[in-house]
Amino acid sequence: MQANTTLPWTQSNPHSIMENMVLERAVEMEHKAGHLQHHEHHHHQQIGWLRASVLGANDGLLSTAALLTGMVAGHGGRETLILAGIAAMVAGAFSMAAGEYVSVSSQADTQAADLAIEERELHKNPDLELLELTRIYVHRGVSEPIARQVAAQLMEHDALAAHARDELGLTEIAQARPIQAALASASSFAMGAVFPILAVLFVPQMNFLLASLILLTLVFLTALGAVAAWAGGAPMVRGAVRVLFFGACSLAATSIVGHFLGVTGV
């Protein structure tokens, strides 16, 4: 592109700015009056926390239940089972918390670093940055003059936000709360892990314990799978069947391992 092309970004056109303001105002008023009803409901905006806690509970339930199932199949005594169940719950909760903390904070660090670089570039080379954004839109199928106009207007509105979104792909600028995320996944893991431990505590006969553990775990897993699917706007049956299948596989695997290790007396 030639260097002498005037960039809409740098030229000021009071007439078109006035027109834009009038148009913007009209759209805003129509919104308020409820004439623009085209605002479909998207699930992914609201389910973040619910999905995360359902997944945490899923983890806690399945890993603790699978461990206990294996130990019951290997003829572990009730006291050992309770001890192992609680140890699994605590260890799992801490490991979830640590993992979540590290992942959320490193993600936030990366975002902050990216944004800092972008901000510096916007300050140093606004014209190159405009060109860059224009090219992104051209790449997505917008014709060059319109792409340049869109890029210029977006940068006039909020240059950093426009680059964050369309160049870096950051849709929401870091509101990462690593401690909150860590506490949430630890507590949901623990909540899931409580159920198999309660089963060990309250099922009176050891003979029924294996069957009760498996049944209880599969029922709760199915329910959690359905809730996760519902929250994400996905078909509930499919979500439930999916976790049921993987849950049954892991319980079967640990039961078999537990059974054989118990038989051989390792």
- For residue 217, give every residue at least 6 positions away whose Cβ sits within 8 Å of its Cβ, in sequence order, or none: 61, 62, 65, 69, 195, 196, 247, 251
CB of 158 to Zn ion, least distance (A): 13
φ/ψ (deg, to 5) at 127: -70, -40
Contacts of 88 (CB under 8 A, 6+ apart): 63, 64, 67, 68, 193
- Nearest approach, Cβ of residue 163 and Zn ion (Å): 4
- The residue whose Cβ lies closest to Zn ion is 163
Instruction: Please tell me whether residue 114 binds Zn ion under the rule CB under 5 A.
Output: no
Q: Which is nearer to Zn ion, 113 or 215 (CB)?
A: 113
Q: Which is nearer to Zn ion, 132 or 156 (CB)?
A: 132
Interface with Zn ion (CB under 5 A), residue from 167, 194, 234, 262: 167
Return the range that interacts with Zn ion (CB under 5 A); candidates 5-13, 51-59, 126-134, 147-155.
126-134
Nearer to Zn ion, 30 or 127 (CB): 127
- Which positions from 200 through 229 interact with Zn ion, judged by CB under 5 A? none
Judged by beta carbon, residue 148 or residue 163, the one nearer Zn ion is: 163
Binders of Zn ion: how many residues, by CB under 5 A?
4
> Number of helices and strands (H, E) in the chain?
8, 0
CB 163, CB 118: distance < 8 Å: yes
Distance CA 71, CA 203 (A): 15
**Considering the complex, what minimum distance in angstroms separates the CB of residue 50 from Zn ion?**
34
CB nearer Zn ion, residue 78 or residue 120 = 120
What are the DSSP calls for 54-103, one per residue? Answer: HHHHHHHHHHHHHHHHHHHHTT--HHHHHHHHHHHHHHHHHHHHHHHHHH
Q: Minimal distance in Å, beta carbon 122 to Zn ion? A: 7
Of 147, 114, 112, which is closest to residue 133 (Cα–Cα)? Answer: 147
Site for Zn ion in 127-166 (CB under 5 A): 129, 132, 163
Closer of 31 and 123 to Zn ion (Cβ) = 123
The site for Zn ion (CB under 5 A) is made up of: 129, 132, 163, 167
